[in-house]
Amino acid sequence: MYYVKEVRLSRILLSTIHYPSYTFSMHCPHCRSEDTSVVDSRLAEDGRAVRRRRECTKCNHRFTTFERQELSTLIVIKRDGTREPYSRSKLERGIWVACTKRPVSQEKVDKMLTKLEEKWGGNKKEVSSSTIGNDVMKELKKLDKVAYIRFASVHREFKDVEEFKQAMNKLL
């Protein structure tokens, strides 16, 4: 059971939902304190996310958090036939490994992932890992050719140098 607490500040009515058995506090990444406050909040990614600027009241460290709609209903079908829930962070880690020491911004990667997630989550409940890999490769090819080759070498599982050379020749 929950209750709503309303606080009136001048002409602004703030409503807070309190859940007695849960605490929803953001930990400071610097000192791990639970005492943080939101300094600024605005829409991001064309209204598909909320960007919050927070400050720790203990150490005064400022940090940014993002709140996005979770695609928890999207299931990824792996190569071996097993299924697992889609994880944006897992895919983003793989993309960043490919983009290491490349001039690719966080904003570009976020836009790419958001665009692809909308494509995959349209009316589907399941998407194959090969579809995800191929779509990411297409977008990386537009974004950065070196990152594309790095990602492709893992996704396509090149067996030897010849397969790698063939992929390079197609790119050039």
Residues 92 and 140 in one domain: yes
**Helix, strand or coil for residue 80?**
coil
Q: Which of 36, 68, 100 is the last residue of a domain?
A: 68
Closest CA to 135 of 124, 151, 146: 151
pTM: 0.58
pLDDT at 10: 39
Q: Which of 68, 88, 112 is the last residue of a domain?
A: 68
Under 8 Å between Cβ of 104 and 144: yes
Mean pLDDT of the chain: 79
Q: Which of 68, 87, 110 is the last residue of a domain?
A: 68
Per-residue pLDDT for 2 more than 90?
no
Q: How confident is the model at residue 59 (pLDDT cuts 50, 70, 90)?
A: very high
Closest CA to 168 of 135, 95, 158: 158
Reduce the secondary structure of 17-84 to three states and give it as a string.
Answer: EECCCCCCCCCCCCCCCCCEEEEEEEEEHHHCEEEEEEEECCCCCEEEEEEECCCCCCEEECCCCCEE
Residues 46 and 80 in one domain: no
* Domain coverage including residue 124: 75-171
For the chain, what percent of residues have pLDDT higher than 90? 19
pLDDT at 94: 92
- pLDDT tens, position by position, 79-136: 899 999 888 889 999 999 999 999 999 889 988 998 888 888 776 788 889 899 999 9
